[in-house]
Structure 1
Amino acid sequence: MKELSVFVDESGNYGGRSAKYYLITLVFHDQSASIVEPIENYEYALRTRGLPDIPLHMNPLMHGNESYKAMDTRMRSRLLAGFASFANKCPITYATFSYQRDRFTNDETMFARMRRDLALFLFDTLQPLQEYDAVKIYYDDGQNEVTNVLHAAFGYVLGAQAVIYKECDPRHFRLQQIADYICEIELARIKYERSEQSKTEQIFFGSYRDFKKNHLRKIRTKRIR
């Protein structure tokens, strides 16, 4: 049985409209391509470098919150570099959809546009998608509107019977963490291109040139869209 896993993450504060941009990233993994070796190598690298094996969560990592609260910037930067290396070696592809919120009347119209964009993307990649016996979508169910977008777009293009929806705790899925990482990288790309990068982004990513060299260009070799 040929199966495709799709891990979904979003960036943007739905409801509060405090974030200028809203992004959704889908990470695709053909389950016949093993990720055991990249995961084992990543976990081994953490052990040999004396770094804790904390499930990646980009926002807390960059701001020193939650599990990263007791860590200094240097350790958090080392964790980010290690995870970036792992993500670049995983047999995945991805697509990111980005939106500037003030170009929409409200969040409802933005999510309607997102639903249309995702459906068009799926139609463009329909032939390879139809080769799979099952498409499993993993999302932490954090925002109902995103869940509705996924159901509507995948159900419309592939048919409801071809898609399996699974709630996903990012702490337990490395590929979900990769979706989180990519979402942050694609958001940083937008901000660097428009000279809107924050001091925190400059601390962890450096100059725009450094950011492109160390993060963006490497992960974008896996980009579908």
Structure 2
Amino acid sequence: MRQLLSVAEVAERLRVSQSLVYKMIERRQIPAIRIGRCVQVDPRALEETLRSPGWADLPNTPFHSEPLMNGHKDYELLDIEQRKVMLAYFSSFVRKLPISYITFVYRRSQFEDPARLMERMGRDISSAMIEHLGFFQSFDDVKVYYDNGQDIVKQALDRSVGKVLSKGVVRRRKTSMTDYRLEQVADYLCTIELALVKYEAKENGETYNKFFGGIGSFKRNWLKQARSKRI
């Protein structure tokens, strides 16, 4: 017999408040079993419900962290609780993916000019690829996606990948955030890594606290889950 989940356990899985879980149960957005005053949730039924963003009456909007967290663009008509659920939903989606990642963090103020920054980026990317060369060589094709967001990043990627891997296996594709889920996943992971930098520097904590619940909760839940995917 499967063990049922309490409201607190469901809230922890979804990374939202218990009061929001109760509201979603009342709206029948989450299937629940009532035993007297006790409310519990079947974990298998919960997983089946979470497979589509439609489970919580959420729009099928491509994930983009900055406007989601600040309520801009496609998210401006959603309240904070809906946006928190969307972030939790996407986090659950990322957790199930067979992916690996690595990130690099830079502050422009630490470099004299963009050329020095690009040189450092290129060196770090090349070193990481050489360190994990067997991983990259295990694929017939290595696709480099870029969205023309920051030209300096594109150039550093092009030069580094071209140096480490043979030209025949590398395919470059121009795309946008809405075209591929994998690019949205990269945006999510970069958001988590950037949040750690901001928390530790005590910058922009109010926005992050609304979604992650403070640095302790962030590290225990969001960061731990993301870091499990690192190469």
Superposed pair shares fold, TM > 0.5:
yes
Larger radius of gyration: 2
Q: Does 1:106 align with 2:131?
A: no
Listed as ranges, the matches of 1:59-208 within 5 Å are 59-208=66-215
CA contact (8 A) 2:95 2:226 kept: yes
In the alignment, the residues of structure 1 paired with residue 192 and residue 174 of structure 2 have an alpha-carbon distance, to the nearest angstrom, of 24
Q: Larger relative CO (CA 8 A, sep 6+): 1 or 2? A: 1
What is the identity, as a one-letter code, of the residue corresponding to 2:113? N
| % identical equivalent positions | 39
Write out per-residue CA displacement over residues 153-189 of structure 1, whole angstroms, 9 at most, x where no aligned residue.
Answer: 0000002222000112221211110100111110011
Q: CA offset at residue 44 of structure 1?
A: 3.5
Distance 2:172 2:128 in 1: 19
Q: Which amino acid aligns with 2:137?
A: Q
- Deviation (angstroms), 1:138: 1.4
Find the residue that maps to 1:97 and give its secondary structure: coil
Task: Could you tell me which runs of 5 or more consecutive residues in structure 1 were left unpaired when the two chains were aligned.
Answer: 1-40
Alpha-carbon spacing, 1:145–1:154, altered in 2? closer, same or farther (3 Å): same
1:45 alignment partner, one of 48, 52, 56: 52
Counterpart position of 2:230 = 223
- Residue 190 of structure 1 deviates from its aligned partner by 1.1
1:129/1:162 CA distance change after superposition, 3 Å: same
The CA RMSD measured in Å over matched residues stands at 1.8
Secondary structure at 1:171's aligned position in 2?
A: coil
Instruction: Give how far 1:129 is off.
Output: 1.6
SS of 2:129's equivalent in the other structure is helix
Give the whole-Å Cα distance in 2 for the aligned partners of 1:42 and 1:205: 23
Query: Is the 2:50–2:89 Cα contact (8 Å) retained in structure 1?
Result: no
Using the alignment, how far apart are the partners of 2:187 and 2:75 within structure 1? 16
What is the identity, as a one-letter code, of the residue corresponding to 1:211? F
Shift of 1:42: 8.5
Local SS of the residue matching 2:83? helix
How many corresponding residue pairs? Answer: 185
Letter in structure 2 aligned against 1:220: R
2:218 corresponds to which of 197, 211, 223:
211
Partner of 2:106, secondary structure, is strand
Structure 2 residue 64 is matched with structure 1 residue 57: yes
Label 1:216 to 1:42 Cα distance change in 2 as closer, same or farther (>3 A). farther
CA drift at 1:43: 7.2
Q: Which amino acid aligns with 1:116?
A: R
CA distance in 2, matches of 1:205, 1:131: 36
Structure in which a larger fraction of residues adopt strand:
1
